[in-house]
Structure 1
Amino acid sequence: MIRPSDWMSLAFDGWRLGAEASAVIAMRLAKLAAGDAAAMVEAQRMIAEKVEAAVALQSGALAGRLGTTPARRAKATIGHYRRAVAKNRKRLRRGR
């Protein structure tokens, strides 16, 4: 059974992931709008990173590294994507 406090924590973590991802989307759209060679590199990088993140999460799930309860698995999933989003935000802020 999932405690109400777990749901609140998950809801907040999910909201935070959405807010952080929205910032990264805005930065990426600005870069893609330029339509230059850097935009093409960013588009290719974006697709590769999304596939890599999904494969890594699936392999973690299959190996049992996400936890044993639904709340732990959800928290680990959100954490996995938050780390990827944070890495992108940092890179895009530097202008690379």
Structure 2
Amino acid sequence: MKSQGTGWPALAVESWMLGAEMGMVIWLRTLRMMTGGAIAEREAERMVSEKMTAGMMFWPAMMAGGCGQSGEEMTRRALAHYGRPVRANRRRLSRG
């Protein structure tokens, strides 16, 4: 997710937008899992696997820029790290 502006206000808006998109993914996944069966089982397994992978890859992704990064840069990296899979899941789950 590219920042539209600079500084903390732009990051706050990006964070809010990511949170809204995450809510949509949760809702779409819930609908998919409520159907039960193999589709629901695959979705649950995928969800757990993605969360574990994202968590394990978080710190290496953050430290790729070195220890001298600003708080803004670290926040920007965190939003990008979690934003990519959230957007991909929203697109995938929205297709039906």
TM-score with structure 2 length normalisation? 0.85
Pairwise CA distance, 1:61: 2.4
Counterpart of 1:22? 23
Name the % identity.
Answer: 37
**In structure 1, how many angstroms separate the alpha carbons of the residues matched to 2:78 and 2:67?**
7
**In structure 1, how many angstroms separate the alpha carbons of the residues matched to 2:30 and 2:68?**
35
Residues 57 and 80 in structure 1, CA contact (< 8 A), matched pair in contact too: yes
Query: Are 2:37 and 1:36 equivalent residues in the alignment?
Result: yes
Query: Which letter does structure 2 place at the counterpart of 1:76?
Result: R
Query: Which letter does structure 2 place at the counterpart of 1:8?
Result: P
Residues 66 and 73 in structure 1, CA contact (< 8 A), matched pair in contact too: no
Counterpart of 1:58? 59
Unaligned runs of 5+ in 1: none
Pairwise CA distance, 1:94: 2.4
**In structure 2, how many angstroms separate the alpha carbons of the residues matched to 1:75 and 1:27?**
26
Query: Which letter does structure 1 place at the counterpart of 2:76?
Result: K
Task: Tell me the matched-pair count.
Answer: 91
Query: Which letter does structure 2 place at the counterpart of 1:19?
Result: A
What's the Cα RMSD here? Answer: 1.8
Q: Which runs of 4+ in 1 moved over 2 A?
A: 61-67
**In structure 2, how many angstroms separate the alpha carbons of the residues matched to 1:24 and 1:82?**
12
Would the alpha carbon gap of residues 27 and 10 (structure 1) be closer, same or farther in structure 2, given more than 3 Å must change?
same
Counterpart of 1:46? 47
